[in-house]
Amino acid sequence: MENERRTDYSIGAGLEEHKLLDILAASQIRATDTYETPPQIIWIDNSTIATLGNFSASTGKAKSKKTFNVSALVAASLAGRQVLNYRAHLPEGKRRILYVDTEQSRFHCHTVLERILRLAGLPTKTDNENLDFICLREYTPAVRIEVIDYALRQNKGYGLVIIDGIRDLMLDINSTGESVEVINKMMEWSSRYDLHIHCVLHLNKGDNNVRGHIGTEMSNKAETVLVISKSNDNPSVSEVHALHIREKEFKPFAFTVDDNGLPVIAEHHSFNGDIKQKSRMSFMDLSIEQHREALSVAFGDKPIKGFENMLQALMDSYAAIGFKRGRSVMVKLLQYLTDNLKLIIKRDKLFYNDMTPTEVMLFDEE
């Protein structure tokens, strides 16, 4: 098995040759190898949304009830039964859950913990041996990462890890380098410890963008990305659908919060077709702020060389804000951004982002 060959080394420059040889040997995939299908642990209807060795995410605007939704997902995993539309089963030896909150006070974290136990049908005045809940609000991003890493190294049989506030594992949400490092951590932890990580990431307040470079990396690498949004017809109802899923897409569902403060399925809720309408939205329907967010992700702080590279960058960055389209649409979008909005300027074979409304920033070609 691959686990028998795995040798762990920190990533960095200047590794000795024998270490590089070990890593190369441990990384090789052979025809004679046998691999088990990653255990499925969480489902919505008949769609798998989480497997061991992978990570997923929930996104949504403030007050969309993201944490209520995650509470139901955790409760289903803790109890091994259906909560809302989530079904879950953690295998033997992987039934423990680590919940990390980076944003809320200890009082509010305790409220979430109690809600999870109530949803799971478990006592609320007794600590459950299969659920560890930690609050890291007062610490720096670097310390938060170190604490999570240390907790996982203790080999406590975790099968599911929740990071409620992945944005708080980095200083700058628009930093390409930090975003790649954080997502690499998700992949490293989930693979090394054979568990599933579910992260919570905010959407922007003013639009439907997944926030910053971390949103782009998340959309590209996550097994599933769920979107929780308020219903346009009834603000007390939250709708859940898939922004991205590797498995077959599940039918969206909706929930509300009952008089006991617990999320319950919103019976007889009808979806008014907003999800389908969004998929047919034209790029001309996007706001200037949405275009700027996508272009900030696409360009970073460098120009892009080559027409095909430009199209690929646009496909990736616009998909991260929920506008996923193919090449033909991106060709038209590029022309629109260049000729109409003047947000992109082309010189020779280089494309530049107009960083501000009134000033075009050009870079000298090397």
pLDDT tens digits, residue range 163-210? 998 889 988 877 888 888 999 999 999 999 999 999 998 765 554 555
3-state SS class at 265: strand
What are the pLDDT digits (tens) for 271-314? 765 444 444 568 887 888 888 888 888 888 789 988 888 889 89
- Which pLDDT score, from 0 to 100, does residue 46 have? 86
Contact between 222 and 244 (Cβ < 8 Å): yes
Q: What's the rounded mean pLDDT across residues 58-76?
A: 92
Contacts of 184 (CB under 8 A, 6+ apart): 11
What are the pLDDT digits (tens) for 88-101? 999 999 999 999 99
Whether the predicted pLDDT of 36 surpasses 80:
no
The full DSSP string for 251-299 is PPEEEEE-TTS-EEE-TT----SHHHHHHT--GGGS-HHHHHHHHHHHH
Structure-model confidence comparison of residues 132 and 19, the more confident one: 132
Burial code (b: 16+ CB inside 10 Å, e: under 16) for 145-174 equals beebeeebeeeeebbbbbbbbbbbbbeebb
Q: How far apart are CA 339 and CA 345, in angstroms?
A: 9
Kindly state the DSSP code that residue 154 receives in the 8-state scheme: T
Q: How far apart are CA 203 and CA 225, in angstroms?
A: 12
Which range has the worst mean pLDDT, 79-83, 281-285, 361-365? Answer: 361-365
Contact between 162 and 135 (Cβ < 8 Å): no
Sorting pLDDT into bands at 50, 70 and 90, what band is 350? confident
Contacts of 198 (CB under 8 A, 6+ apart): 50, 55, 56, 57, 58, 70, 73, 160, 161, 162, 163
Whether the predicted pLDDT of 329 surpasses 50:
yes
Contact between 164 and 102 (Cβ < 8 Å): yes
- Select from 351, 288, 339, 284 the least CA-distant residue to 314: 351
Q: Give the type of residue at 259.
A: D
- Select from 142, 135, 184 the least CA-distant residue to 164: 135
Q: How many CB atoms lie within 10 A of CB 283?
A: 20
Sorting pLDDT into bands at 50, 70 and 90, what band is 6? very low
- Which pLDDT score, from 0 to 100, does residue 275 have? 44
- Which pLDDT score, from 0 to 100, does residue 205 have? 56
Cα four-point dihedral sign 333, 339, 341, 343: positive
